[in-house]
Amino acid sequence: MQQYSLFILPFILDQISTQLSPIIKQTIKFGNDKGPRARILLVGDHSLFEKFFGLYGEDEYAAYNGLSLYLNGIFSQLKSVFDNQLYFFNKFSLRLEMVGVPMIILRPEDCPLRGPLQNFISQHYLDKINTTLINSSIPLTNSSIQLQLEKQQKQMNYVWRSLDSLVAVQWASQWVKQNEPTGNLPMHEHLMIITALDLLSHRNDSSTQGMAYIVAAHELAHSIGASHDGFGESENCSARQNFLMTPVSASHPFDAKFGDTFGNAFILSKCSKQQIEDFFNSSDSNCLWSEEEGKNLFWSMLEEEFQLSLNALTKNGSNTFLFDDENYLLEEEKQLLNNKNRKEEEIKFLKILPGEQFNPSRQCQIAFGPSYGLCQRIDFLLLTSDPCRRLWCKDRRQRRWGPCETKGFLPLMDGSNCGDQKWCIRGQCRQMPGISEEGNKNSNNEENKSSGK
């Protein structure tokens, strides 16, 4: 069973996960003693790389490094929602494994969404411009031609940065079908494409919500059988309780009946849990119970891209995502790439949380754009009871006392500093002595860079 999701950075458009080519076998109860496993192929598309390229001063290497860290951070937090947290049948949790390293698309023609989009723009808009100029009933002056070109350019720019969500799903499906037979994609059960494109609904609105890893978990739960709380088989679980499968998450939820429900956003309701257990007990989940590795062509065909990512993650002696063994040599890593039987020899990274790597100002830039920084207005900051619950950002191009901005569900990233020896974890400021001092040092350096110090 192969599935995929499309993401808007740092948000996701709901209800566009689709199941491809389900494997139907006999009904099983449990396939192994370890529980279900889903191998995730994480793809950052060209629009996402383009966004980070702008955030990092058009430095391609720095952008690749930053995006690699960001995607690894999303995955580590996604794992934190499922691994050893959500238990099914009182026995198993869903084990998530990322295959290889995040795949970052550097060229638009290779992108699952921008490749077809590039062809569409070329065929539609450029032909339309030529037709307009040729078929004009009156002679066009240079200024008239310029106006026509500017109008078409604005339309092309809009099309280049937005896409109908259903079309996006179709193009993603085509991309998978084109690349899997050639061995360009590693073996996986679930593909997540993260994009900075604005994915539009049939009402022509983007309907985006939430922090990336929370809505990634939401969409993954859809793919393993869970529906929205308050609807269908989950109608007995109120959406007002703000569990993971609520249709719309909120950072500041208080319900007269259920009280403060913010913490529920990171866990499943009993209805969702039951639906997922039903899925795991059906033949549709057979592939998730298999431990078969098979031949992973990704490692042999994309060794050069892996080495680029490896170098980016360890640039300048960074302590972020260090190998467990400090003396681990790249030459030994090359040997692992050719080892088809590697299991326990998989690369293991130390757990440095994304908030330690991306300070709040950088988080604002990722959420809103390069001109944004952390809001300093006390009146906005006091609107939330916990500093980790909602990230407030300010457009630095606006006047100093202009309003700050946020999103419907935008907690600070896990690992963000919120006081002396305190860090944000799941939207709450906590005393967490286990978080590394080196991670804080990296975050402080990032803060100084983004503030121009």
Binding residues: 218, 222, 228
Cα first-last separation, the chain:
50
Burial 193-205 (b: 16+ CB within 10 A, else e): bbbbbbbbeeeee
To the query of whether residue 292 is one of the catalytic residues in this protein, the response is: no
Per-residue burial over 165-189, b if 16 or more Cβ lie within 10 Å, else e, is: beebbebbeebbeeebeeeebbbbb
Separation of alpha carbons 279 and 257, rounded Å: 31
Q: How far is CA 351 from CA 75, 103, 215, 323, 354, in A?
A: 11, 20, 21, 10, 9
Look at residues 101, 89, 87, 102 and name the one whose alpha carbon lies nearest to residue 48. 102
Percentages helix, strand, coil for the chain (3-state, rounded to 5) are: 40, 15, 40
Q: How many residues does the chain have?
A: 453
| Beta strands across the sheet bearing 428-431 | 417-419, 422-425, 428-431
Distance CA 421, CA 261 (A): 26
Helices (H), 192-238: 212-223
Are 352 and 383 in contact, with CB atoms under 8 Å apart? no
Q: Which of 219, 356, 405, 446 is catalytic?
A: 219
Residue tagged 């590795």 (tokens): 293
Annotated binding-site members for Zn(2+): 218, 222, 228
Q: Which of 360, 358, 357 is nearest to 376 (CA)?
A: 360
Catalytic sites, residue numbers = 219
